[in-house]
Structure 1
Amino acid sequence: MSRRSRSDPRTLLEILHCAGIPRTAAGSSRCTGGAQKRRAAVRRGSQRRSLTITRGAYSGRSPQRRHRAPPFCGGAPGPEVATLVQGRFKRDGSASAEPERHGGTGPNVGSSSPQHAQNPGPGPSADGGSGTGRLGTSASSGPAATPTVKPPKGPSGPGSRIALRNWRISTRLVSLLALPVVAATSLGALRINDSMDDIQQLDNMKLLTEMTKQATELAAALQEERDQSAGPLAHNSTASNITVKGYRDKTDRAATNFINAAEDIDTSSKDGNLQGVRDSLVGLVRDLDTLSKVRSDAYETKGNATQTVESYHRLITHLLDLSQDMAEATSNPDMIQRTRALAAFSSAKEYASVQRAVLAAALPANNTTLGDLSENDRLYAQGALESEESDLNSFRSIYGDDGAEELLKPIEDGSSTIEASDQYAGRAFGRPEGLADLDRRSYKDWVDDSSTKIQQMGNIEHTLLEDMEQKARELRSATERDAIIAGALILIVLGVSLVGAFVVARSMIRSLRRLQETATKVAQDRLPELVKQLSESDPQDVDTSVESVGVHSRDEIGRVAAAFDDVHREAVRLAAEQALLRGNVNAMFTNLSRRSQGLIQRQLSLISELESREADPDQLSSLFKLDHLATRMRRNGENLLVLAGEEPGRRWTRPVPLVDVLRAAASEVEQYERIELAAVPTTEVAGRVVNDLVHLLAELLENATSFSSPQTKVKVTGHALPDGRVLIEIHDTGIGLSPEDLAAINERLASPPTVDVSVSRRMGLFVVGRLSQRHGIRIQLRPSDSGGTTALVMLPVDVAQGGKKPQAKPGQGAPGAPAAAQAAAGVAAARRGGGNGQGGGALGGAPGGPG
């Protein structure tokens, strides 16, 4: 059978259930069938009490029934009669085991935690003895309780989570940098947004430039169609003329390219940026639908070419107006200047083309006859000549005189053909019948000569368009560069700010974290461990040096760390002083206890001597009461030894049967006749634990008898578990305890508190907890189904098996009558005698057979 660890996390009830022991055997049912009492007969020089063995237990009637003590906390200094605890011996000298001398200076093996709450102290017992009462219950009187720590002044709690004082260091630094960083980021974002708008505008300019190029080519094709077909159509040629058809086909191809380019503008205008341009294109496409009608009516009226020229002129002017739309679609001054200059120059080129068309329609097919220029056509052409000069002047003013003169050199300087053509047109349009004074010329010669100027102007126009495209690319590249630089600067500012905040916060947080970890380690590990060492050993042998936090900066954090080191040193110093004070108090308790035990032992010897000489039953009964009170006084002295952390001066060297240990414990209780033993296994208790176990069980039995009705029994049962442990149950049918009190008591039993004034008022609870902790015994109180309280005592294997491995053998029942009587005789002898050198006590008789 495998053994279980002493630190079994299961409750004693769970262990009992797993061992297969029914709840009735565990004391859950009310005890029925109490032992019959017989009147005790006092005889001199013989057995003092006659015990009647019933159901494997013993009971008796005390000479005088005592009143039940009021409920209060504390140990139960009841009538001490057992001879097994801390060097008590049989007075008849019949020792069954020799005691082993053991120094009583050993420390308490289980230091108690100072953090356990403590209940109010007890009041005086009803019989005048030192406090005995229900473990953990409060009393109405007694010494002053431990003073309550007053709450600190000032605001309570950390406050709201969003309060500024609850922010983390990193959060505060980020919040501090948030405003300037957000401002800088916003300004940078606005700058980037402006750059993106500029890029969008320049992308639109790229589309518009392409659109303008297509429009200019279409305008040039219309000009060529109009000018080249003017002569043939004016001289009765048809549209099937090769010359006319060729130029019209060229115009159609240019119109197709223009419409395709317009579709790109239509797609890009959906966001609203080019809506105005799109509207213009819609009108242009509608006007181009009228081109077929213009062609069909071209030059049909003799001497009135103005009508046809004007129809073409409206289409061409509408196309050239796209340059103005380009100027409205951008906000860049350079691009606006170039688009306006292009528009002005293109208009001048159109007026030059108008002059060519009018003269071509007026001149004859050959140079043998004079031309016929109507006055209407002459005035129209003269207006075109003047508009050309005006637009060229506008171009110069917009583009700049220096740049314009450089561009206009091909048409103004160095070309005799262009110069002659200009002079010819000026003289022809300058006055009525101007053609009559000029050399005869065919329309073909005129068209060829004037086309030189138109071609040069087309080259200049193409140069302006390329210049616009180049400028748009440069501006877009510059704008992209500015946007990238602005974005990079924003990222750098954000990065530097965040990295700086991170570095500063990390430096502060690292110091604070080191301070926090050290403070937590000191509070949870170092200081409690040091206090434990100081309480368990000589303070002079304990290293009380203080390790520094390790934060040595000169800022506020460093000063806080230095202040914490000072607090730590002061706490260690105070702990050492408190340990020294506790050691002195423990030594005082030990000395007082040893002295009082010596006096009480002499008193017990004297009482035993008087008992042996007394024949009067009444006087003998009074001596028994006096003997009982002296025994209780001796147990109070032993409680002082436990309080001081001392162990019994003598130990048993051989195992002792558990039934004898239970009898010895019962013999120390004032109302021992109410205690009933049943179903005690045949296990043996290790000799080193016998004295402390008798003391522990006596406290629990005293408590059970004190807080239950005198007419009821206190039932004690034992169960041997399969793993070798033994469970002892003590059942009473008393007043019981509330769940809160039971929980508090079980906590105190598991972790006895430190020694203070409250311990003196609940001595029994403290003694039971200390003794159980010393030997690994688990104790738990629980309510009984029949009313009252059940105390469960779990003996570990090394205690319950006498230091031997557990043996798989059936449990033994209660001892039989002869063995019980023999044990009772030993108890009676123990009540008369003192420890004068040999061990024994109530264990004079061996355990009986199964009951």
Structure 2
Amino acid sequence: MQGRFKRDSSAAAEQEPRGGTDRGSSPQHTQNPGQGPAGEGGDRGTQPGAAPGGDTPNAAPKSASTDAGSRIALRNWRISTRLVALLTLPVVAATTLGGLRINESLNDRQQLEHMQLLTKMTKEATSLAAALQAERDESAGPLTNGANPKDFKVQDRRTKTDRAKKAFLGATVDIGNTDGDQALESIRANVSQIATQVNKIQEIRKDAYDSDTTHSLTVDAYSGLIDSLLSLSQDMAQATSNPDMIKRTRALAAFSSAKEYASIQRAIIASALPADPKLAGELNENDRLYGLAAATKGDNALASFDALYESMGGNAEELTAPLSGKGNPEINAADEYAQRVLGISGGLEGRPKRSYLDWTDQASAKINAMNIIEQTLLGEMENKARQLREKSQQDALINGALILVVLGVSLVGAFVVARSMIRSLRRLQETATKVAQDRLPELVKQLSDSDPQDVDTSVESVGVHSRDEIGKVAAAFDDVHREAVRLAAEQALLRGNVNAMFTNLSRRSQGLIQRQLSLISELESREADPDQLSSLFKLDHLATRMRRNGENLLVLAGEEPGRRWTRPVPLVDVLRAAASEVEQYERIELASVPTTEVAGRVVNDLVHLLAELLENATSFSSPQTKVRVTGHALPDGRVLVEIHDTGIGLSPEDLAAINERLASPPTVDVSVSRRMGLFVVGRLSLRHGIRIQLRP
């Protein structure tokens, strides 16, 4: 049946008397079953028809060297001497003038840049401290009156605190590079410690205003964290030597402390008041004394601030006027209420009853006013730091301009020295690039396309003839260029000889196999025994596959087979002919093949190509499965043929590499002998514009 199937396909294809459509499978299919032909590949193929030639002509003789000039001429100096001369003048000028004129300006600028970073971080720390104060004070009432920690009044404040914490931690990242500044290094260590404490806020919240402990413990826990944040403003004084900035940082620290003590009073009293104003509040004596101490410390901190601010030339009385309550009666009322409650033991008894909400709202008027003053102080400090930095930058620019003038004069002399060296280097670079990218590839292509003896292999010199190192490199490059051309010519000659050998071997084997096929066909026609006829069919099939292997050698050599069809052949007959050349042809199923006809000049190569792909599909899929072949006519006149198998598949990387090799067949080398199937498929597809692609 196998032989009959082959003969039927050949008859349908109307082949000429010289042969049929049979081809052999690629040998790597049985040697490496772990991969299909898609895994085979290599470099681009050689140009077909490269004729063998004789000996490669030697490189062109060197052009006569021009006079290099005197040894003491500038262009003949050693490169090291030129570099020293090139760099000495500007380096000495920059070092001398730069060290004397801009060192102080750079130090001041660096300090002020650090101050700007610290000011930004201090603003975030102050914002986080204010958020912690609001969380501590405004959650005191709800938590002491049994509210759930997830209650909106508590959770909303904690959410705002978490946002402020995130902003603060983001600002601390900018302090990472200290550039060896010991003061900034100390501040960074302190910031890291504070950041660690800030991240433990959940522990404070967990035990906040526990009914079994005094409320001052919760307030003190928050205060410890807030004091650490506020201490950053004092740390800023370490980063600058400017007296005005030092006073401003200390004044800010004093006022922030006063605001914290006012906030503590708000928290202590809020924790003692009930949610219902009809009920009586209860203030623990320890909490009262804690709040009273905070009030005293707050007054002292405000006094310190007034003194510091006045020493800077500011008007402290005008700045803190909103805190006196003249413009806001709520501040006076809150101060008086706090003095009554904290001043004596049992201060809440007999007083007008009020809820913690009433007290928090009233006390917040003073805290809000202090927040505005605090932001004003931060803004003044930031503006002052900016002004000082701009002045320092201006001084640095003036000094830099003077240095540039000196360097300009120095560089003019250096330029004269460098120019003689750069010209030679640029010419060497341009010539080397042109040789590597244009001349040598073009010459190799010519050697591959024609007889090496017919190609001009002379080498044009770089044209740099000086006695320095650049001239020696140019001469060495010319030698390398000549040697590369010589080797390329020898390789082209070798490839031509190999191709001729492949062609000769293939033609010899093709003739013998054709005679063998004719003899087998004659024996088949006279044999009546079914068993003997089956064996003859097997021999016929093996010989057909051997012929395909022989024709593979012609493809390797870039030759075309001698067998041709004169008339178009239906695609279904081409597919049947390809299937008949596969060892496991009985597993191949044809389905939905369009009634397209294939041009006669393409039939033989197309059968060969499809046979290789079908061989791969049957070799690397289970013997119990079928290989299905379908065809689809596309609107633009092309035909899509799909071969479906159930093999183990390939990784995406291997699949991509395989498709690349199919699109660009490799050069004929040792690896092609092990991966002949992929090479043959790629070469045949390029010959006729057929697109081959493996898909999952």
- TM-score normalised to the size of structure 2? 0.46
Rg comparison, structure with higher value? 1
- TM-score normalised to the size of structure 1? 0.38
Which structure dedicates a bigger proportion of its chain to helix? 2
